[in-house]
Amino acid sequence: MTKTKKYVRILKARYESSWYADKIGEVFELTGETVSFYDVRVPGVGRLVNVEDAELIVTEKRPAKVGERILIVDDELGTYNNGQIHKVHKCVSASSDNNEHIVTDAGFVFWTSEYEVIVNNEVKNEEDDEVEIDLDAMGYDELIEHGEAVMRAISLRSYGEGYKQGKFDADMEATYMRKPEKTAQERRDEIVEQAKADVSGLLKRDIGHDHEFIVNTEKRTVVVLRKLRGCTNIVRRGIAKAAPDDCFNVHIGEAIALHRALGLEVPDEYLNAPQPTEVRVGDVVECGSLKDVRHVKVVADGEYIGTGLDKAAISSIAVTRHLRRIIDDSRTEVGE
∠ CA(188), CA(194), CA(197), 5° rounding?
150
pLDDT at position 55 over 80? yes
Phi, psi dihedral angles at 250 (to 5 degrees): -65, -30
CA distance 146 to 151: 9
Q: What are the Cα distances from residue 67, in Å, to 27, 89, 90, 111, 262?
A: 21, 6, 8, 16, 20
State the pLDDT at residue 168.
Answer: 59
Q: Cβ neighbours of residue 106 under 8 Å, at least 6 residues apart?
A: 86, 262, 263, 264
pLDDT band at 125 (very low <50, low <70, confident <90, very high): very low
CA distance 304 to 146: 89
pLDDT band at 80 (very low <50, low <70, confident <90, very high): low
pLDDT at position 332 over 70? yes
Phi, psi dihedral angles at 67 (to 5 degrees): 95, -20
CA distance 235 to 212: 12
Could you please report the per-residue DSSP string of 99-126?
A: G-EEEETTS-EEEGGGEEEEESSPPP-H
Domain ranges of the chain: 4-119, 126-175, 184-271, 284-334
Residues forming beta bridges with residue 140, ordered by sequence position: none
- The stretch 276-280 carries a mean pLDDT of 95
- The stretch 250-265 carries a mean pLDDT of 95
∠ CA(84), CA(262), CA(22), 5° rounding?
40
Checking DSSP bridges between strand 311-313 and strand 292-299, what pairing results, if any? parallel
CA distance 105 to 200: 20
Cβ count within 10 A of residue 22:
17
Nearest by Cα to 13 from 31, 1, 25: 25
pLDDT at position 158 over 60? no
pLDDT at position 119 over 50? yes
Nearest by Cα to 102 from 43, 145, 46, 62: 62
∠ CA(298), CA(256), CA(324), 5° rounding?
30
Q: Structure pTM? A: 0.52
pLDDT tens digit string along 168-180?
A: 566 666 655 556 7
pLDDT at position 156 over 80? no
pLDDT at position 146 over 50? yes
Range of lowest pLDDT (53-57, 63-67, 172-176, 197-201): 172-176
The interaxial angle of helices 184-205 and 250-261, nearest 10 deg, is 40
The larger pLDDT score, comparing residue 43 to residue 225, is at: 225
The percentage of residues in the chain with a pLDDT greater than 70, rounded to a whole number, is 76
